[in-house]
Amino acid sequence: MIVPDLPARVDVAVVGAGLAGLAAAEHLRAAGASVVVVEARDRVGGRAWSEALGRGRFDRGGQWLGPGQDRLAALADRLGVATFATWSTGQKLLDDGERVRRYAGDVPTLGPLELLQLHLAIRRVDRLTARVPAADPLAAPRAAALDARTVADLARHLPRRVRGVLDVAVGAIFGVTPAELSLLWFLAYLRAGGGLMNLSTIAGGAQERRFVGGAQTLAERWVERLDAPVVTAAPVRRVRQRDGEVVVTSDRGAVAARAAVIAVPPPLAATIDLEPAAPARAQLVQRTAMGAIVKVVVAYERAFWRERGLSGEVVSTRGPLSVLFDNTSHDGRQPALVGFVQAGPARRWNGDAAPVVAQLVRWFGAEAAAPQDLAITDWCAEPWSRGCPVAVMPPGALTTAGTTLRQPVGRVHFAGTETATAWTGYLEGALESGERAAREVVRVL
């Protein structure tokens, strides 16, 4: 339940009303602790954010559910939020910068030699992924050597077009270029989500299903049932520990607690003044950076791409959009496409939608030139996310301070999808992290 004011005292203060914070709050209440959730935004859901567009309600943030995301599926079922299959019927398009071609299957069509090298590269990534434990990547063989390398190092000798396809996949999953990613962290992330192909595909993969009404519907309904107050528009500035007490100070006042859970992305957690300080964790979170994504939802009168035997899925190695999916509403009343500007082009985004529409015309013809409506979300400009979809680790971060990401600092515990050991970076990972943080607090209390 959303309330206007902070209570003076609770057992646990939870910072952040995304899925991680709400999961922590629910599990703490189930254990008998009194809880308040303190949220910077004027809404709940965090990086799950849904708004009306045309004749439907669409996600401006995270939106998908895939096999193996059992917590998320169970939550949707419990809250009465229906799901439906992401449209994937028909051929896909590959735009390699020279021409646009159709293909079928999960791997874009390239020349025979290029296709072989792409398959070999994916197999090599799979073999390396199998050696890295998601919960403890530093236990992997040659962990330090892997952490000293980037994903770009792994792909350096591949042909240009093969490298371009892999760049698109990395950018879509992380919002950064391969040169920005620690290879060790990349492999641990893939291990947590079932592998590179699992994170890149629709049918049988992480993009398999969507939520009727959008993913934020989960948070909205959850808060209505949550037996704990939620205070919005209350950015937390300081968390002070003294004499067995934790005082959480926000723009709407302070609350004293026996423990706290900070459930926000690491770069945002770095802006909260911790007292006493935690130098090792501070060094780590200061080195992490949010991915850069601009999400574009384009509504049309008709799903003309379906009429032409196309699924709406596009992979493009030229900008500004890098990937595209069919995003039509569950009832078919509002045809739509959703695309992502990622990494460098997202950081340089100037708000001009004309190049995006021109790209859609290149792929689908003149009918794409006149969308009914567009919803453009520059996640780098969102002050309480500072990027999307996930915070990433650069080379060297894990081997110098990576063990501190989930480690409590006194009575302050940490959640958020970046801290998850299953489905890191996804809505499912947010739920797992909130449950884990709640268990830690219960043991302390």
For every residue of 166-226, which 3-state class applies, written as one string?
HHHHHHHHHCCCHHHCEHHHHHHHHHHCCCHHHHHCCCCCCCCEEECCCCHHHHHHHHHHC
Contact by Cβ (8 Å): 35, 257:
no
Whether the pLDDT of residue 228 is over 70: the answer is yes
What tens digit of pLDDT does each residue of 76-111 get? 999 999 999 999 999 999 998 888 999 887 777 676
Contact by Cβ (8 Å): 23, 413:
no
Residue 4 banded pLDDT, cuts 50, 70, 90: confident
Report the CATH superfamily, name and number, of domain 107-200: Guanine Nucleotide Dissociation Inhibitor, domain 1 (1.10.405.10)
Question: Which CATH class for the 50-89+205-214+292-381 domain?
Answer: alpha beta
Sign of the dihedral through C-alpha 316, 317, 321, 325: positive
Lowest mean pLDDT among 59-63, 107-111, 210-214, 369-373: 107-111
What pairing do the DSSP bridges indicate for beta strands 9-15 and 289-290?
A: unpaired
Tokens read off for 25: 């709050």
Residue 403: per-residue pLDDT: 76
Contact by Cβ (8 Å): 85, 204:
no
- Taking the mean position of all CA atoms in its chain, how far away is CA 434? 15
9-46+216-289+393-444 maps to CATH 1.10.10.410? no
Q: At residue 44, what are phi and psi to the nearest 5 degrees?
A: -105, 165
Which of 200, 264, 267 shows the shortest CA–CA distance to 64?
200
Q: Distance of CA 60 to CAs 129, 150, 202, 334, Å?
A: 31, 30, 19, 16
Q: Domain ranges in the chain?
A: 9-46+216-289+393-444, 50-89+205-214+292-381, 107-200
Whether the pLDDT of residue 210 is over 90: the answer is yes
Please tell me the distance from the alpha carbon of residue 127 to that of residue 150, in angstroms, as a whole number: 17
Identical fold, 9-46+216-289+393-444 and 107-200: no
What tens digit of pLDDT does each residue of 18-67 get? 999 999 999 999 999 999 999 999 999 999 999 999 999 999 999 999 99
